[in-house]
Structure 1
């Protein structure tokens, strides 16, 4: 029994605390650097908001599935029997664990991989973000740009591989965690930014809406100014002939008076 759960209990190659540093704080530093260069507060605000939404939603989904499924980890045997002596119930043949309760409980959270889902949620969002900023889909065939976009995904994949190598997850756990993180990252990015292949994919939707509103207001103001100027020109044109006729009548009256005097 438990033949596929007898892998050794090893420490994590990537500690739990390192995942948010790599997948969240690291991308945020890149967001700030781009803000310093571009000075677009809309971009910084929505980039940080988007990645926080991505990892938060992914974390909630991952933990909910972990608790619902309860799949044992590959090293569950050594969690259940720290001394290596397996104990089973003679009647039900059920496992009688005598390890620490917290260690055993953690051993039932194999599916899906939290390290993997979080890594792909944060670094996947960063890949989307970089793809939009460096216009990787501009149809010019820049391989270097594509490498920059793939690099965060490669880091996330390395973290996922380490989970299998440490015997903390089965390959199905890692694969599913990567899909969850990638899907959530894509949805969250497209919620705040246009697709990177879009002509306006450089800035978030809020910035584009702000620019559009300013342009509309500017066009409206210019149109009103033209209407006002046209009205003023029309009023001036209407007054000039009246003054001309008045001047002509006055000249005729003066001529008649002078003729009478003669």
Structure 2
């Protein structure tokens, strides 16, 4: 048979090659992507857990540093007042309000772009594209909030500064049985004392030693400044150029009023509020710049040297170049024809 093939000049046919079916390759790619997604989720969950644990420990198991005081220190002798901005109101201000704004803006942004029905593959699930973007923005916001909260708690429990209403809540009794009101103790520095205040719980006395920095101020400024920066990045009001800036002003005034109320209610010294506000502002700016990339220039807004605007040519490659170019130079998949 070999001699006959050689005699007739017909080249022997090569042996058949086995190629994996396309479904097998697609399944392997999907499985690999799902593994990467799961691994990334677990890593980020571990990071969030590490950030949450110190907050829980500080709130439940750790006592703040026990600082002494001068008996004639008038800065800690203010009367006790209830909070103007209660913890529940603060939670709505820094939690519910930002999340509501994120949902509305992402929905409107997708609606205007005509991408409300677009779906993306996320692991083994198909989700609306704006859900994925909303989840990403939630993650950015929550991560920055945890960083700000951790920095605030570290300051509170390390410094242990006495609140302006400390004397009214604690009503300290010195170890020798005397009181600060005694003439002999007017300029005395006291470290060994017991709180004999009536009408206040141990939790109230503990809170009276957590003045620096102001948690209300840091969380309010972080959350509301971050939302203001988010609106600058995402929101465009076609009927008015001032509406967005008015909303940003209202958000910052809410944060400013929250900070001012802490001094007004004698829960913090002015320096506590200043430090807390700076922590919140720094947290919002760092999160917006380095994590959410709000300050990055959009790709389409970059201009070339001749004044031409840079364009994304990936759609042209996929729709026009790839179909007209034979393999293996251009194959209409992610391995060969991608964004330029």
TM over 0.5: yes
Pick aligned residue for 2:222 from 121, 124, 129: 121
Q: Is the 8 A contact 1:135 1:197 kept in 2?
A: no
* 3-state SS of paired residue (1:17): helix
Q: What residue number does 2:235 align with?
A: 134
Q: Is the 8 A contact 2:235 2:244 kept in 1?
A: yes
Pick aligned residue for 1:2 from 73, 92, 99: 73
* 3-state SS of paired residue (1:14): coil
Structure 2 gaps of 5+ residues are 1-71, 111-115, 117-129, 302-311, 330-340
Q: What residue number does 2:258 align with?
A: 159
Q: What residue number does 1:183 align with?
A: 282
CA distance in 2, matches of 1:196, 1:146: 17
> Which structure: greater strand fraction?
2
* 3-state SS of paired residue (2:325): helix
Name which structure has the greater RCO, CA cutoff 8 Å, separation 6+. Answer: 1
Equivalences for 1:86-235 in 2 at 5 Å? 87-88=179-180, 94=190, 96=193, 97-99=195-197, 100-134=201-235, 142-196=241-295, 198-199=297-298, 216=314, 219=317, 222-228=320-326
Give me the TM-score of the superposition, normalised by structure 1: 0.71
* 3-state SS of paired residue (1:228): coil
Give me the TM-score of the superposition, normalised by structure 2: 0.56
Pick aligned residue for 2:98 from 10, 27, 38: 27
Q: Deviations over 1:122-168 (max 9, x none)?
A: 111101101112359xxxx9444322222211101101111100000
Q: What residue number does 1:243 align with?
A: none
CA distance in 2, matches of 1:201, 1:105: 54
What is the CA distance between 1:188 and its match in structure 2? 1.5
* 3-state SS of paired residue (2:162): coil
Q: Deviations over 1:192-239 (max 9, x none)?
A: 43335734599xxxxxxxxx7xx648626743433329x9xxxxxxxx
CA distance in 1, matches of 2:276, 2:318: 51
**Paired positions, count:** 214
CA distance in 2, matches of 1:153, 1:59: 19
CA distance in 2, matches of 1:32, 1:185: 19
Structure 1 gaps of 5+ residues are 203-211, 232-262
CA distance in 1, matches of 2:270, 2:215: 13
CA RMSD of the aligned region, Å?
3.3
* 3-state SS of paired residue (1:148): helix
Q: What residue number does 1:69 align with?
A: 159
Q: Is the 8 A contact 1:110 1:170 kept in 2?
A: yes
Shift in CA distance, 192/46, structure 1 to aligned 2, threshold 3 Å: farther
Q: Is the 8 A contact 2:288 2:295 kept in 1?
A: no
> Which structure: greater helix fraction?
1
Q: Is the 8 A contact 2:212 2:268 kept in 1?
A: yes
* 3-state SS of paired residue (1:103): helix
* 3-state SS of paired residue (1:87): coil
Shift in CA distance, 199/217, structure 1 to aligned 2, threshold 3 Å: closer
Equivalences for 1:11-90 in 2 at 5 Å? 11-37=82-108, 38=110, 39=116, 40-81=130-171, 87-88=179-180
Whichever of the two has the greater Rg, that structure is: 1
Q: Is the 8 A contact 1:120 1:181 kept in 2?
A: yes
Larger deviation, residues 45-54 vs 122-131: 45-54
